[in-house]
């Protein structure tokens, strides 16, 4: 009876912890989904409608919309239209639809770009929250449940990742798919049950359908096999038996991934060569692509936007600026725990699994360094396994603390102290998100100076603040008759229903009509990159009608041209 009570109590504890984690990961993500819009979401929302039209009309080849290929986000966008506005398939003439026509079509049916995006984002939140919960269930088979709980919550509330887990965008999705895929494969290596290899393959296929860079999962799982094989007993038969078994698991993994890719990407059903060729050409060309849009990094403008190997420090520096001090402290504790590992009772399996998470994160970032096109968000798949590893680091020392307290006081006191310490760690991580919520991308590491110092090093501004600028312009008298030029006009249009003109980015695009506008909406990254040079020159020393500040960063300046002072 005593053993039965212990078993029942353990099951209840597990169920309660899982339920609390799922709720904690889901509910905060559902709040304020109608705030700012990430720059690429304007494209992905329209792609969702186009994808829905193509599927509904069995025009399979027209589901090839994004070279990434962004299929999972397109399916979620299509699902949102099927749920809210299925008639759009009849009202669209083709999969390709002009931006203004798309917007007017929604407005004629009592919808708006923003609210359609909110419906699509709800699906993103549900899937990402479910994947993070799955990461806990997988990690639970490799580590202590409390260690995994802390690690997954640190990952789920990573300040930089949080908003990407809510955006209709590929980078957040590919991160959670890749994390769960690598965890499932490590579980397969630990338990030798092929079902886990199959699950990992499903998730790998979904990751590849999200973004082509997920092809790096293949060398990652091969590396996992080699590391596990190296740790096998030195008996030759045992080593080669393990190798043969895991190779069959790798074959299953690859087969399942291929089946998922072909099953869910309609463009492959009639002619797979062209879409797959475009994806792999895109991946291959990234290493030597010529980027022509000026970018800003480390206090300087890169006129071509191409960051070659001389920028090997790009991602390490970007990670430090975007990382949470809580995660960095956890990683430091993990390193200290490894150096003094004889003092800890962590199993060899847990050490090996932790090492694989860290190696995967570092290896992925290193591989992305080979591409000349770089954004800080491109290494988001490295953030999550490092956060999970940081949770293991905290667990090592919390368990040591538990043993000390239990020796001097009681088991109950030790459990209470450990629980409070774990909640404090997770609470600090959550506080970093809350501090900048709902503008998660305005977060920068406070240890390096936070938002006040970040613009001196990092390019900032991917749509944050344009919602507040839209609210300001709505209150301007005579708004229907105003001529407004805005940087990121497509994003600004989600928050301002009147017509907005696109601010010319380059000198050759500038026309005299721009000087006859009523308002200019100037954005921070525009100033950092030196885009719209004539406009930047014209606003020098001119009064600002309104500014939008978030987390110490002036994201938006609104200029009323009638207020301009003639400069001699």
Residue 303 included in any domain: yes
The answer to whether residue 112 sits within a structural domain is no
Tell me: the pLDDT tens digits for 326-373? 999 999 999 998 888 877 777 878 889 999 999 999 999 999 999 898
Find all residues with CB under 8 Å of 195, minimum gap 6, and list them: none
- Rounded to whole angstroms, the Cα distance separating 258 from 202 reads 9
Q: Are residues 319 and 245 in the same domain?
A: yes
319 lies in some domain = yes
Nearest to 39 by CA among 150, 139, 169: 169
Tell me how far apart the alpha carbons of residues 120 and 407 are, in angstroms, rounded to a whole number. 53
Residues spanned by the domain of 177: 2-32+122-436
51 in any annotated domain: no
pLDDT band at 245 (very low <50, low <70, confident <90, very high): confident
235 and 309 housed in the same domain: yes
Same domain for 139 and 196, yes or no, is: yes
For residues 399 and 535, membership in a common domain is answered with no
Q: Is residue 442 part of a domain?
A: no
> 426 with 494, same domain?
no
Number of domains in the chain: 2
CA distance to 7, 15, 17, 153, per residue, from 11 (Å): 6, 6, 10, 21
Percentage of the chain beyond pLDDT 70 is 93
The packing angle between helices 41-56 and 113-139, to 10°, is 90
CB atoms within 10 A of CB 278: 16
Q: What is the pLDDT of residue 4?
A: 60
Residue 53 belongs to a domain: no
Q: Are residues 404 and 516 in the same domain?
A: no
**290 and 403 part of one domain:** yes
Residues 205 and 353 in one domain: yes
Question: With 80 as the cut, is the pLDDT of residue 217 above it?
Answer: yes
Whether residue 524 sits in one domain with residue 395: no
Tell me: do 249 and 307 sit in the same domain.
yes
The residue that leads in pLDDT, 14 or 408, is: 14
Confidence class of residue 414 from pLDDT cuts 50, 70 and 90? low
Same domain as 250, residue 195? yes
User: What are the backbone angles phi and psi of residue 560, rounded to the nearest 5°?
Assistant: -100, 110
Pairing of strands 519-523, 501-502: unpaired
pLDDT at 5 over 70: no
Token pair of 44 as six digits: 């992905």
Half-sphere exposure (CA, 13 Å, Cβ side) for 338?
16
Report if residue 505 sits inside a domain: yes
> If you ran DSSP here, which 8-state letter would residue 566 be given?
P
Find all residues with CB under 8 Å of 240, minimum gap 6, and list them.
Answer: none
Tell me, yes or no, whether 179 and 219 share the same domain. yes
DSSP string, 117-145: HHHHHHHHHHHHHHHHHHHHHHHTTTS-H
In a domain, 110, yes or no: no
């Amino acid at each position: 009876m005593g053993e039965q009570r212990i078993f029942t109590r353990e099951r209840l504890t597990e169920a309660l912890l899982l339920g609390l984690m799922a709720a904690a990961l889901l509910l905060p993500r559902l709040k304020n989904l109608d705030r700012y819009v990430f720059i690429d979401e304007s494209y992905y929302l329209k792609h969702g409608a186009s994808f829905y039209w193509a599927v509904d009309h069995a025009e399979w080849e027209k589901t090839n919309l994004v070279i990434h290929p962004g299929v999972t986000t397109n399916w979620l966008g299509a699902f949102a239209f099927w749920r809210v506005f299925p008639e759009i398939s009849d009202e669209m003439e083709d999969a390709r639809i002009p931006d203004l026509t798309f917007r007017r079509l929604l407005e004629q049916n009592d919808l708006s770009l923003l609210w359609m995006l909110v419906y699509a984002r709800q699906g993103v939140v549900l899937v990402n929250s479910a994947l993070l919960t799955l990461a806990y269930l997988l990690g639970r088979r490799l580590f202590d449940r409390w260690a995994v709980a802390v690690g997954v919550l640190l990952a789920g509330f990573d300040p930089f990742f949080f908003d990407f887990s809510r955006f209709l965008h590929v980078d957040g999705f590919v991160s959670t798919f890749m994390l769960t895929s690598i965890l499932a494969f490590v579980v397969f290596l630990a338990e030798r049950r092929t079902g886990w290899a199959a699950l990992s393959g499903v998730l790998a296929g979904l990751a590849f359908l999200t973004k082509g860079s997920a092809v790096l999962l293949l060398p990652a799982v091969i590396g996992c096999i080699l590391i596990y094989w190296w740790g096998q007993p030195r008996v030759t038969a045992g080593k080669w038996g393990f190798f043969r078994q895991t190779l069959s698991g790798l074959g299953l993994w690859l087969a399942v991934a291929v089946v998922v890719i072909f099953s869910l990407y309609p463009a492959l059903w009639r002619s797979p060569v062209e879409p797959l060729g475009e994806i792999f050409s895109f991946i291959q060309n990234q290493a030597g692509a010529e980027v022509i849009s000026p970018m800003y990094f480390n206090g300087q403008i890169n006129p071509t936007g191409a960051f070659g190997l001389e920028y090997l420090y790009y991602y390490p520096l970007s990670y430090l600026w975007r990382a949470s001090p809580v995660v960095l402290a956890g990683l430091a504790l993990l390193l200290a725990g490894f150096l003094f590992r004889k003092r800890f009772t962590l199993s060899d399996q847990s050490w090996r699994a932790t090492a694989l998470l860290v190696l995967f994160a570092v290896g992925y970032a290193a591989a992305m360094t080979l591409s000349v096109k770089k954004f800080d968000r491109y290494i988001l798949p490295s953030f999550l396994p490092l956060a999970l590893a940081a949770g293991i680091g905290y667990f090592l020392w919390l368990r040591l603390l538990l043993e000390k307290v239990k020796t001097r006081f009681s088991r109950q006191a030790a459990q209470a102290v450990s629980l409070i310490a774990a909640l404090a760690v997770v609470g600090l991580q959550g506080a970093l998100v809350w501090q900048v919520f709902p503008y998660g991308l305005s977060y920068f590491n406070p240890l390096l100076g936070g938002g006040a110092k970040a613009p001196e090093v990092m390019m900032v501004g991917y749509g944050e603040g344009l919602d507040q600028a839209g609210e300001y312009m709505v209150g301007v008298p005579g708004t229907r008759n105003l001529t407004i030029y805005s940087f990121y006009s497509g994003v600004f249009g989600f928050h301002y229903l009147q017509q907005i003109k696109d601010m010319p980015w380059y000198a050759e695009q500038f026309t005299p009509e721009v000087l006859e506008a009523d308002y200019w909406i100037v954005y921070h990254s525009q100033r950092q990159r030196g885009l719209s040079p004539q406009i930047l020159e014209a606003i020098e020393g001119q009064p600002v009608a309104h500014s939008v500040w978030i987390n110490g960063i002036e994201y938006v300046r609104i200029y009323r041209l009638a207020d301009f002072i003639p400069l001699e």
